[in-house]
Chains A and B, each alone.
Chain A
Amino acid sequence: MKNICKYLSIALLCLLPTFAHAGEAQDMAADPVLEKRMIGLADKLRCLVCQNESLASSHAELAEDLRREVRELMKKGMSDDEIKDYLVARYGDFVLYEPPFKRYTLLLWVGPFALLIAGLAGLMLQLRKRKQAAPETQLSAEEAQRAAELLNSKDPQA
C-alpha cells in the first residue's frame, strides 16, 4: 500500500510540468489544430510590410495583428477561401502569393508558356530551314567503301 502511494505521487509529480506549461503562450497552445490551419493559410499570404515574407513567418507588427485576425475569423467558422476574400477586399490581390487568373494577370500566367511555345516554334523553323539548305548527299560506291574501311579499322590514325 505504501509503495502504491509512493509511485502514485511520483506519477502525479511527473504530470506537474504539463500544468505549468498551460499558462504561457495561450494563443498558440489554446487550439493547436486551429493554429496549424492558421499557419497553413498564412503561408500562402504575403506580409505587406516586408513583402517578400509570408504572413506566417513575418515578425512585423501588422503580420501579428493579421494572424490574430485570421485566427479569430477561423473561430467564427469562416472557410479559408472566405478569409482570403476578406483580406483581398482590404489589401488587394497583392496579399495572395498565388495571384488569381484575371484579365490583367493574363500576361503573368500565360507569358512564360507563350514564350516557350514561341521559342520552340522558332527552333523548329530554324531546323527545317537548315535541313533544306543542306540536302542529303548520296555516297558513291567508292566513297562508301572508304567510309566502311575507316569505321572498321582498329587504328584511328590509319
Chain B
Amino acid sequence: MKRFWPFILFVVLAGFLYVGLYLNPREVPSPLINKPAPMFTLAQLHEPSKQFSPSEMKGKVWLLNVWASWCVSCREEHPVLMALAERNIVPIYGLDYKDKREDGLGWLAKGGNPYTMSMSDNEGRIGIDYGVYGVPETYVIDKDGIIRYKQIGPVTPDSLRETILPLVAGLQAK
C-alpha cells in the first residue's frame, strides 16, 4: 500500500488537471442569477423618442439579448436568434450595447431583426448594471422580473435546445 501513495497522489492531481482542461475561464458565474433584473429606462433604437423599461415586461417570460453591430460573435448568433424569433415562443428584446444608432439600425436592416424591440445603450452604462463583459450575452428573465439564466457568448442551437428553451417553458408554465 505504502508504495502506491505517490501513484494515488499523481492520479488525484491528474484528475484535477483533466477537469481543468474543459473549464472555460471566460465564463464567470453571474451574481445576478435569481436576482431582480436591474431597472433602467432607455430610448428605443427604432423610435428614440419612445422609451422602454423592463417593468413593462411584468407577467411575461422574455429574453434580453445584448448585441452590437461591431460584435463578431453576434454574427454567429444572429441566424439562431432569427430562427427562434420565427417560432414565436418567447419575445427577444435587444440591448444595442456601446453602438452608434445608425450602425445598429444598419446591421438590423441588413441581417434581419429578430427583436421585438431594441434599446440603445450607447454609453454602456446599463451593460455595467447587468455585468456585461463579453457581447453577446443573453438573459432569461421570468414573469416576476427575476434573472433566471445568463448565457455568456453566442446562443447556439445546442444551448437553446438543451438549456434556454426548457427553462423558458418551465417559467412560462408557472
Residues of chain A whose beta carbon lies under 8 Å from any beta carbon of chain B: 48-49, 51, 61-62, 65-66, 69, 88-94
Interface of A is mostly: helix
Contact between B32 and A90, CB atoms less than 8 A apart: yes
Task: Return chain B residues, CB-CB under 8 Å to A49.
Answer: 133-134
Task: Return chain A residues, CB-CB under 8 Å to B30.
Answer: 91-92
B28 at interface, CB cutoff 8 A: yes
Contact between B128 and A90, CB atoms less than 8 A apart: yes
- Against A, the Cβ 8 Å flags (1 = close, 0 = not) of B11-44 are 0000000000000011011111000000000000
B52 at interface, CB cutoff 8 A: no
The 5 closest A-B pairs by CB, nearest first: A48-B133, A90-B131, A92-B31, A94-B28, A91-B131
Please judge, given known A-B contacts A61-B98, A65-B124, whether A92 and B29 are in contact too, CB under 8 Å. Answer: yes
Contact between A88 and B128, CB atoms less than 8 A apart: no
Contact between B25 and A66, CB atoms less than 8 A apart: no
Distance in Å from the Cβ of A61 to the closest Cβ of chain B? 7
Task: Return chain A residues, CB-CB under 8 Å to B26.
Answer: 51
- Against A, the Cβ 8 Å flags (1 = close, 0 = not) of B117-128 are 000000111011
Distance in Å from the Cβ of B104 to the closest Cβ of chain A? 16
Distance in Å from the Cβ of A30 to the closest Cβ of chain B? 19
Alpha-carbon gap, A83 to B75, bound state (A): 35
Task: Return chain B residues, CB-CB under 8 Å to A51.
Answer: 25-26
Alpha-carbon gap, A51 to B98, bound state (A): 21
Contact between B134 and A69, CB atoms less than 8 A apart: no
* A-B contact list, 22 entries, CB within 8 Å: A48-B28, A48-B134, A49-B133, A51-B25, A61-B98, A62-B124, A62-B133, A65-B127, A65-B128, A69-B125, A69-B128, A90-B31, A90-B32, A90-B128, A90-B129, A90-B130, A90-B131, A91-B28, A91-B31, A91-B133, A92-B29, A92-B30
Q: A51: nearest residue on chain B (CB-CB)?
A: B25
Task: Return chain B residues, CB-CB under 8 Å to A61.
Answer: 98, 124
Task: Return chain A residues, CB-CB under 8 Å to B28.
Answer: 48, 91-92, 94
Task: Return chain B residues, CB-CB under 8 Å to A62.
Answer: 124, 133
Distance in Å from the Cβ of B99 to the closest Cβ of chain A? 12
Alpha-carbon gap, A93 to B29, bound state (A): 9
